[in-house]
Amino acid sequence: MMERNYKRRFPISDWVLITLYVLIYPLAVSLTLIFFFYNFSNKISQLIFLNLIIFIFLLISLYFYQSVFRKLDLYAKKVDFYHFTPSLVDLVIHLIKQVYYVLFLGLLLTFFLEFLISVSKNDLTVYLGFSISISLLLEGILIVIRMRSKIALINTAQEPVKENIIANLNLDYPESMKISEYRFADIQVPSLFLSAGVTTFGLNNYICLVSRYFNWKLNDEELIAVLLHEVGHVKNNHIRKTYMIIGTEVILRSIRIFSVLLLLLSISGNLELFKIDPFSFLYLVLILSVFLASAFLTFFLRYRTYLAEISADEYSANEIGALELAKVLRKLPKLIPSPLVYDQSSFLGFRVNLLRDSAKK
Tens digit of each residue's pLDDT (9 = 90 or more) over 132-187: 999 999 998 888 888 787 788 888 888 889 999 999 999 999 988 888 889 888 87
What residues does CATH 3.30.2010.10 cover in the chain?
Answer: 160-238+313-359
**Alpha carbon 164 to chain centroid distance?**
34
Fold exhibited by the domain 160-238+313-359? Zincin-like (3.30.2010)
- Going by the DSSP 8-state scheme, the letter that residue 209 receives in this structure is E
- Residue 283 CA to residue 264 CA, distance in Å, equals 13
pLDDT digits (tens, 9 = 90+) for 74-122: 898 888 876 766 667 777 787 788 778 778 888 888 888 888 888 887 7
Give yes or no for residue 8 having a pLDDT over 60.
no
Least confident of 89-93, 266-270, 343-347: 343-347
Count how many Cα atoms sit within 13 Å of the Cα of residue 289 in the half-sphere of its side chain.
20
pLDDT at 11: 43
**Are the beta carbons of 158 and 2 closer than 8 angstroms?**
yes
pLDDT at 192: 44
Count how many Cα atoms sit within 13 Å of the Cα of residue 125 in the half-sphere of its side chain.
13
**Alpha carbon 144 to chain centroid distance?**
15
Give yes or no for residue 202 having a pLDDT over 70.
no
**With the C-alpha atoms ordered 71, 77, 79, 84, is the resulting torsion angle positive or negative?**
positive
